[in-house]
Amino acid sequence: MKTIQFSILALLAVLAASSLSAAPAGDEAAIRKALGGVTPDSIQPSPVSGVYEVSVGPHVVYLTADGRYMFQGELIDMLKRESLTEPRRRQMVKKILASVSEKDMIVYEPAKPRHTITVFTDIDCGYCRKLHHEMQQYLNDGIRVRYMFFPRAGEGSTSWKKAEAVWCAKDRKAAMTAAKDSRAIEMKTCANPLEEHMKLVNELGARGTPFIVFEDGETQPGYLPAAQMARKLDKMAANQPRQ
């Protein structure tokens, strides 16, 4: 029988183990041994007897108590007809983004903010440009937009250099608009958060741009027109449980 090398979690970037783990000592030891060099953020009992939820960044998998079997996918409560995996995933995404200071973002503030979205953007991405050209409509709808950089071509690429130049500009917002309009900007260099942004991109498993993260940790891999975005955010807010 062909041996399957455990590599799914080994590719994920993690910072440290969490103190939230609630697994019995014996089970946790077996699970950690099975994970090899990967340090999970948490190991917690799932609602299924003998199965544990293991979180690494925003990634959630399930392992048996002896650490032998692992499966990926959605754990569904068939009685309630709802995913038990997605809420945990969103919680971890929120935790990751909360570690980033807004000083390391370019933030567009509406006069009366009602919602906040975090957008990983590529200067040269067509749909990123489309979103940016609707910025005033987003702001008019009370949507606060926090930009982070995701130059998909990678470090040293033209898109990367443009992102760096935008960050280093005296007026970052004006430079962002100019760059997304294909107008020339001064190609300055300075200390910037691009490497940290790209670490988050990898940790979140983002692929396409714009990559949008909502306040509850839900992610949207792609552009939404401003009007549609406003409706979605209003619906999400209306569905939030009251405190």
> Residue 21's pLDDT is what?
37
190 is an active site residue? no
Rounded mean pLDDT, 205-218: 93
pLDDT at 4 over 90: no
Opening angle at CA 238, ends 234 and 243, nearest 5 = 130
168 is an active site residue? no
pLDDT band for position 24 (cuts 50, 70, 90): low
Which position among 27, 88, 89, 128 bears the catalytic label? 128
Alpha-carbon distance of 184 to 178, in angstroms, equals 7
Alpha-carbon distance of 181 to 31, in angstroms, equals 51
From the CB of residue 217, how many other CB atoms can be counted at a distance below 10 Å?
A: 20
pLDDT at 19 over 70: no
CATH of domain 1-80: 3.10.450.70
DSSP assignment letter at 241: P
pLDDT at 18 over 90: no
171 is an active site residue? no
CATH of domain 103-239: 3.40.30.10
Which position among 90, 125, 141, 146 bears the catalytic label? 125
Rounded mean pLDDT, 7-24: 37
> Residue 16's pLDDT is what?
30
Nearest to 96 by CA among 228, 211, 238, 191: 211
Domains of the chain, residue spans: 1-80, 103-239
Contact 208/219 with Cβ under 8 angstroms?
no
pLDDT at 5 over 80: no
> Residue 242's pLDDT is what?
59
pLDDT at 117 over 80: yes
Contact 89/204 with Cβ under 8 angstroms?
no
Contact 132/175 with Cβ under 8 angstroms?
no
Which position among 90, 129, 146, 152 bears the catalytic label? 152
Nearest to 157 by CA among 165, 169, 145: 165
Rounded mean pLDDT, 191-205: 94
Which position among 122, 124, 141, 146 bears the catalytic label? 122
